[in-house]
Amino acid sequence: MAQAQQAAQDAARAAFGNRVPVRVEVEAGTLDPRLQLAPCARVEVFLPPGQRAWGRTRMGLKCAQGAAAWRVTVPMTVRLWAPGLVVAASLPAGTVLAPGHLKMAEVDWSERDSPVLVNEPATLGRTLGLTLSAGAALRQEHLRKRQWFESGDTVRLTAVGPGFSIQGEGVALNPGVEGQSVRIRTESGRTVTGTPTGLRQVEITL
Protein backbone atom coordinates (compact mmCIF):
# COMPACT_ATOMS: atom_id res chain seq x y z
CA MET A 1 0.00 0.00 0.00
CA ALA A 2 2.95 2.31 0.62
CA GLN A 3 3.85 1.94 -3.07
CA ALA A 4 0.34 3.01 -4.06
CA GLN A 5 0.43 6.00 -1.72
CA GLN A 6 3.79 7.13 -3.14
CA ALA A 7 2.49 6.74 -6.69
CA ALA A 8 -0.59 8.80 -5.81
CA GLN A 9 1.62 11.51 -4.35
CA ASP A 10 3.85 11.55 -7.44
CA ALA A 11 0.84 11.71 -9.77
CA ALA A 12 -0.63 14.64 -7.84
CA ARG A 13 2.63 16.58 -7.90
CA ALA A 14 3.06 15.98 -11.62
CA ALA A 15 -0.50 17.09 -12.40
CA PHE A 16 -0.26 20.16 -10.18
CA GLY A 17 2.98 21.34 -11.79
CA ASN A 18 5.28 24.04 -10.48
CA ARG A 19 2.75 26.83 -9.95
CA VAL A 20 3.52 27.18 -6.24
CA PRO A 21 5.24 24.99 -3.60
CA VAL A 22 2.96 22.11 -2.70
CA ARG A 23 2.59 19.64 0.17
CA VAL A 24 0.78 16.40 -0.59
CA GLU A 25 -1.10 14.23 1.88
CA VAL A 26 -2.39 10.80 0.85
CA GLU A 27 -4.93 8.78 2.81
CA ALA A 28 -5.36 5.25 1.48
CA GLY A 29 -8.57 3.31 1.73
CA THR A 30 -8.84 -0.47 1.78
CA LEU A 31 -9.45 -3.10 -0.83
CA ASP A 32 -12.72 -4.99 -0.86
CA PRO A 33 -12.15 -7.75 1.75
CA ARG A 34 -14.05 -10.19 -0.46
CA LEU A 35 -11.28 -10.10 -3.05
CA GLN A 36 -9.13 -13.23 -3.22
CA LEU A 37 -5.92 -12.17 -4.98
CA ALA A 38 -3.31 -14.68 -6.05
CA PRO A 39 0.25 -14.14 -4.76
CA CYS A 40 2.22 -11.72 -6.94
CA ALA A 41 5.98 -11.19 -7.17
CA ARG A 42 5.71 -7.74 -8.78
CA VAL A 43 2.82 -5.33 -8.42
CA GLU A 44 2.62 -2.22 -10.61
CA VAL A 45 0.74 0.91 -9.58
CA PHE A 46 -1.04 3.21 -12.05
CA LEU A 47 -3.56 6.03 -12.20
CA PRO A 48 -6.60 4.59 -14.05
CA PRO A 49 -7.93 6.58 -17.04
CA GLY A 50 -10.56 9.09 -16.02
CA GLN A 51 -9.44 9.24 -12.39
CA ARG A 52 -8.44 12.55 -10.85
CA ALA A 53 -4.90 13.08 -9.61
CA TRP A 54 -6.18 14.60 -6.34
CA GLY A 55 -9.25 14.74 -4.17
CA ARG A 56 -11.27 11.52 -3.88
CA THR A 57 -9.77 9.19 -6.45
CA ARG A 58 -8.59 5.63 -7.01
CA MET A 59 -5.19 4.12 -7.77
CA GLY A 60 -4.84 0.94 -9.80
CA LEU A 61 -2.82 -2.11 -8.82
CA LYS A 62 -2.01 -4.90 -11.25
CA CYS A 63 0.01 -8.06 -10.98
CA ALA A 64 2.86 -7.90 -13.50
CA GLN A 65 4.57 -11.10 -12.38
CA GLY A 66 2.62 -13.89 -10.77
CA ALA A 67 0.74 -17.13 -11.23
CA ALA A 68 -2.45 -15.26 -12.12
CA ALA A 69 -2.92 -11.81 -13.63
CA TRP A 70 -5.20 -9.49 -11.68
CA ARG A 71 -6.07 -5.81 -11.63
CA VAL A 72 -7.84 -3.90 -8.84
CA THR A 73 -8.30 -0.32 -7.68
CA VAL A 74 -7.97 1.11 -4.18
CA PRO A 75 -9.69 4.31 -2.98
CA MET A 76 -7.44 7.26 -2.12
CA THR A 77 -7.94 10.74 -0.75
CA VAL A 78 -5.19 13.06 -1.99
CA ARG A 79 -4.93 16.56 -0.52
CA LEU A 80 -2.79 19.32 -2.04
CA TRP A 81 -1.70 21.98 0.42
CA ALA A 82 -0.18 25.07 -1.17
CA PRO A 83 -0.11 28.87 -0.75
CA GLY A 84 -3.19 30.71 -1.97
CA LEU A 85 -5.25 33.80 -1.34
CA VAL A 86 -7.78 33.70 1.51
CA VAL A 87 -10.18 36.36 2.71
CA ALA A 88 -8.91 38.14 5.82
CA ALA A 89 -12.43 38.68 7.20
CA SER A 90 -15.95 37.64 6.21
CA LEU A 91 -16.99 39.35 2.97
CA PRO A 92 -20.55 39.51 1.60
CA ALA A 93 -21.49 38.82 -2.00
CA GLY A 94 -21.07 41.94 -4.12
CA THR A 95 -17.89 43.06 -2.35
CA VAL A 96 -15.42 44.74 -4.72
CA LEU A 97 -12.04 43.37 -3.68
CA ALA A 98 -9.58 45.94 -2.40
CA PRO A 99 -6.21 45.94 -0.59
CA GLY A 100 -6.63 44.47 2.89
CA HIS A 101 -9.39 42.06 1.91
CA LEU A 102 -6.98 39.23 1.14
CA LYS A 103 -3.88 37.54 2.52
CA MET A 104 -1.76 34.49 1.66
CA ALA A 105 -2.10 31.23 3.56
CA GLU A 106 -1.67 27.50 3.02
CA VAL A 107 -4.95 26.04 1.74
CA ASP A 108 -6.24 22.73 0.41
CA TRP A 109 -6.35 23.24 -3.35
CA SER A 110 -7.96 19.81 -3.82
CA GLU A 111 -11.04 20.66 -1.75
CA ARG A 112 -12.87 21.94 -4.85
CA ASP A 113 -12.34 21.73 -8.61
CA SER A 114 -12.12 25.50 -9.09
CA PRO A 115 -8.48 26.71 -8.85
CA VAL A 116 -7.29 28.82 -5.93
CA LEU A 117 -6.14 32.32 -6.91
CA VAL A 118 -2.62 33.46 -6.00
CA ASN A 119 -2.13 36.79 -7.80
CA GLU A 120 -3.59 39.45 -5.51
CA PRO A 121 -3.12 42.44 -7.87
CA ALA A 122 -5.11 40.62 -10.56
CA THR A 123 -8.07 40.17 -8.17
CA LEU A 124 -8.31 43.79 -7.02
CA GLY A 125 -11.41 45.45 -8.45
CA ARG A 126 -13.10 42.11 -9.07
CA THR A 127 -16.50 41.44 -7.46
CA LEU A 128 -17.39 38.49 -5.24
CA GLY A 129 -20.31 36.45 -6.47
CA LEU A 130 -21.11 34.96 -3.09
CA THR A 131 -20.39 35.45 0.61
CA LEU A 132 -17.09 34.08 1.93
CA SER A 133 -16.22 33.49 5.57
CA ALA A 134 -12.90 34.57 7.11
CA GLY A 135 -10.06 32.27 6.07
CA ALA A 136 -11.88 30.83 3.04
CA ALA A 137 -9.72 30.26 -0.01
CA LEU A 138 -10.51 32.59 -2.90
CA ARG A 139 -11.23 30.51 -5.98
CA GLN A 140 -11.96 31.42 -9.59
CA GLU A 141 -15.59 30.38 -9.15
CA HIS A 142 -16.08 32.94 -6.37
CA LEU A 143 -15.59 35.93 -8.69
CA ARG A 144 -18.37 37.34 -10.84
CA LYS A 145 -17.68 36.98 -14.54
CA ARG A 146 -16.60 40.18 -16.24
CA GLN A 147 -18.52 41.66 -19.15
CA TRP A 148 -16.03 43.01 -21.66
CA PHE A 149 -18.48 44.69 -24.05
CA GLU A 150 -22.15 45.18 -24.91
CA SER A 151 -24.17 43.88 -27.83
CA GLY A 152 -23.65 46.30 -30.74
CA ASP A 153 -20.15 47.34 -29.68
CA THR A 154 -17.34 47.34 -32.21
CA VAL A 155 -14.73 44.79 -31.16
CA ARG A 156 -11.22 43.87 -32.23
CA LEU A 157 -11.01 40.36 -33.70
CA THR A 158 -7.93 38.16 -33.61
CA ALA A 159 -8.19 34.93 -35.62
CA VAL A 160 -5.53 32.44 -34.54
CA GLY A 161 -4.39 29.40 -36.50
CA PRO A 162 -1.30 27.16 -36.68
CA GLY A 163 1.61 29.57 -36.94
CA PHE A 164 -0.37 32.69 -37.84
CA SER A 165 -2.89 35.26 -36.62
CA ILE A 166 -5.15 37.71 -38.46
CA GLN A 167 -6.70 40.84 -36.99
CA GLY A 168 -9.80 42.77 -37.94
CA GLU A 169 -12.95 44.34 -36.56
CA GLY A 170 -16.56 43.32 -36.14
CA VAL A 171 -19.79 44.11 -34.33
CA ALA A 172 -20.85 42.07 -31.29
CA LEU A 173 -24.25 40.42 -31.69
CA ASN A 174 -24.53 39.60 -27.98
CA PRO A 175 -22.76 40.77 -24.79
CA GLY A 176 -19.16 39.65 -24.34
CA VAL A 177 -19.08 37.84 -20.99
CA GLU A 178 -15.94 36.20 -19.61
CA GLY A 179 -15.89 32.46 -20.34
CA GLN A 180 -18.88 32.54 -22.72
CA SER A 181 -18.94 32.37 -26.51
CA VAL A 182 -19.96 35.48 -28.43
CA ARG A 183 -21.20 35.96 -32.02
CA ILE A 184 -19.56 38.65 -34.12
CA ARG A 185 -20.57 40.09 -37.50
CA THR A 186 -17.39 40.77 -39.44
CA GLU A 187 -16.74 43.66 -41.83
CA SER A 188 -17.51 41.28 -44.72
CA GLY A 189 -20.93 40.45 -43.28
CA ARG A 190 -20.07 36.95 -42.06
CA THR A 191 -21.12 35.83 -38.58
CA VAL A 192 -18.40 34.10 -36.56
CA THR A 193 -18.16 32.81 -33.00
CA GLY A 194 -15.30 33.67 -30.68
CA THR A 195 -14.23 34.03 -27.06
CA PRO A 196 -14.02 37.41 -25.27
CA THR A 197 -10.46 37.92 -24.02
CA GLY A 198 -10.47 41.54 -22.82
CA LEU A 199 -12.01 44.96 -23.22
CA ARG A 200 -13.63 44.82 -26.69
CA GLN A 201 -11.29 41.99 -27.66
CA VAL A 202 -12.37 38.66 -29.16
CA GLU A 203 -10.29 35.67 -30.19
CA ILE A 204 -11.33 33.16 -32.86
CA THR A 205 -9.55 29.82 -33.21
CA LEU A 206 -9.26 28.58 -36.78
Per residue, the 3-state secondary structure of the chain, as one string, reads CHHHHHHHHHHHHHHHCCCCCCEEEEEECCCCCCCCCCCEEEEEEECCCCCCCCEEEEEEEEEEEECCCCEEEEEEEEEEEEEEEEECCCECCCCECCCCCEEEEEEEHHHCCCCECCCHHHHCCCEECCCECCCCECEHHHECCCEEECCCCEEEEEEEECCEEEEEEEEECCCEECCCCEEEEECCCCEEEEEEEECCEEEEEC
Residues 86 and 63 reside in one and the same domain: no
pLDDT tens-digit readout, 12-59: 888 888 877 889 999 988 887 888 888 888 888 888 888 888 899 999
Residues 102 and 70 reside in one and the same domain: no
* Range of lowest pLDDT (46-55, 82-91, 144-153): 46-55
Residues 43 and 6 reside in one and the same domain: yes
pLDDT tens-digit readout, 157-200: 999 888 888 999 999 999 999 889 999 999 899 999 999 999 99
Q: Which of 30, 54, 80 is the last residue of a domain?
A: 80
Residues 131 and 197 reside in one and the same domain: no
Residues 54 and 96 reside in one and the same domain: no
Q: What is the pLDDT of residue 18?
A: 80
Residues 135 and 159 reside in one and the same domain: no
